[in-house]
Structure 1
């Protein structure tokens, strides 16, 4: 993995943690999630004026990606309604690189050397260990952990689909922009049916999340989609999930969530995996 791709994906990880914190900290998480997803659409429409449309051969991947992103957003939303950012986010993000790596090696014929495989296992293992985190009352939040793991399955699925689709499309930015628009339409329909006041609230109280959260989320995943075309999908997915480090810092210092030894050790383990991945061939 080149230095440019490495630095770009780390930057995307920071942005990803930031918009997740916005959703988690919102009083109405459905409105916050809707604002982020709908916030993609103005940028995506603007981008399509300057980049080519994706190749027709990538359309099945585009359609599947739209559905998978929507499923991910619904389960992530439910997870945040149940558990802490510093528990939900790591489990959801940490399970994804392990699933992607396993599928890439067994089904796509991708070759990962020993160091790359070890780095992915360390990152995933360090993050998933946060399933051991207990709530403030000392009880394990098993429901949040299960929802977060399901979210991780969606993340792994859309990562693989988007990575393959972006390569086939011939334009990673055009591919993701079309995906963002389709995803935004689905979210708009969902909100209009499930929460009739949500769209109105987004236009008033949710404007800051729409603008800043939507922009951060779009830029973050646009970078990742490009990175999928520059390096193995499994490596990009694993590195992107180092966003747990930034989510932990945001959760502790801004959302005032508890910091304990498990969280510290898990974060350190994740950083070790990221360093190992950077210096792998």
Structure 2
């Protein structure tokens, strides 16, 4: 984890939380994700002619990732519909690092040393604290929690698949561009078929916001994919989930959701975990 890789992943965390907040802000989740995904397709098509075409060995991973991303989007829409942003986002993101650590050890033969393992564990403890603090004093919404946990499993799955795929591609930017194209067509196509003549009227009020979200989404994942060619998957996954702190702050500032001292303490655990991961690098 060099300083450049660390900076790239941290910037990706901020942009990722931001585009998720935009998706949550748009009341009709299908409208929001249609704009973000369609925007990603347009960005991918615009960049594809100027990037190296991914190597043949990368395409099975790319198609597999696109299928997992489709499941992820459906689960994420359900999470945002059922739960608060400041809770659904942390649970979804906080589930991923531990699962990625296991998947990376099994499929990529990246077994963490004791510093990296301790860092991942502490980071996950901090992220879990950020997520679960919001459950205090009221009955848990198990449907929302279940959707968020399932979202986290899908995140872990595509993280490992894309980590292997981008390394085989020979071109992180080319892989990102074509992934955005392949993964981004299904939901918009479904939306257009469902809305028919009402499509433009439904999309127009949120077009600028949604397309800005698409740009943030492309930058966020493109930076992560590039980082995965420079460092091991598990520390990147854990460091990337510092976006949860950004997400919690966005929830407090823009969606008027409580943050509170317990979440600040949990954020401290996250910082310690990140420090251990960087020590391992």
Fold conserved between structures, TM > 0.5: yes
- Give the structure 2 partner of residue 117 of structure 1: 117
1:171 Cα deviation (Å)? Answer: 0.7
Q: What are the residue-to-residue correspondences of 1:30-179 with 2, within 5 Å?
A: 30-134=30-134, 138-179=138-179
**Structure 2 CA distance for aligned equivalents of residues 131 and 60 of structure 1:** 34
Considering only aligned residues, what root-mean-square deviation do their CA atoms show, in Å?
A: 1.8
- Give the structure 1 partner of residue 231 of structure 2: 231
Contact 2:11 2:220 survives alignment (8 Å): yes
1:239 Cα deviation (Å)? Answer: 0.7
Q: What are the residue-to-residue correspondences of 1:205-220 with 2, within 5 Å?
A: 205-220=205-220
Cα distance change on mapping 1:175 and 1:111 into 2, 3 Å: same
1:181 Cα deviation (Å)? Answer: 0.5
1:274 Cα deviation (Å)? Answer: 1.6
Contact 2:35 2:188 survives alignment (8 Å): no
TM-score, normalization: structure 2?
A: 0.94
Cα distance change on mapping 1:131 and 1:248 into 2, 3 Å: closer
- Give the structure 2 partner of residue 189 of structure 1: 189
**Structure 2 CA distance for aligned equivalents of residues 214 and 194 of structure 1:** 22
Contact 2:29 2:77 survives alignment (8 Å): yes
Contact 1:134 1:141 survives alignment (8 Å): no
Deviations 1:54-77 (CA, angstroms, capped at 9, x unpaired): 011111111101111111011001
Cα distance change on mapping 1:278 and 1:209 into 2, 3 Å: same
Deviations 1:147-193 (CA, angstroms, capped at 9, x unpaired): 10000010000001111000111111111111101112112222234
Contact 1:62 1:165 survives alignment (8 Å): yes
Bigger mean CA offset, 3-12 vs 50-59: 50-59
| Unpaired stretches in structure 1, ≥5 consecutive residues | none
TM-score, normalization: structure 1?
A: 0.94
Tell me the secondary structure at the aligned position of residue 238 of structure 1. helix
1:196 Cα deviation (Å)? Answer: 4.3
Tell me the secondary structure at the aligned position of residue 280 of structure 2. coil
**Structure 1 CA distance for aligned equivalents of residues 29 and 66 of structure 2:** 21
Deviations 1:118-160 (CA, angstroms, capped at 9, x unpaired): 1111112221234533469722222211110000010000001
**Structure 2 CA distance for aligned equivalents of residues 215 and 202 of structure 1:** 20
1:97 Cα deviation (Å)? Answer: 0.8
**Structure 2 CA distance for aligned equivalents of residues 243 and 148 of structure 1:** 15
1:209 Cα deviation (Å)? Answer: 2.3
**Structure 1 CA distance for aligned equivalents of residues 7 and 201 of structure 2:** 36
Contact 1:133 1:140 survives alignment (8 Å): no
1:203 Cα deviation (Å)? Answer: 4.1
Bigger mean CA offset, 156-165 vs 28-37: 28-37
| Unpaired stretches in structure 2, ≥5 consecutive residues | none
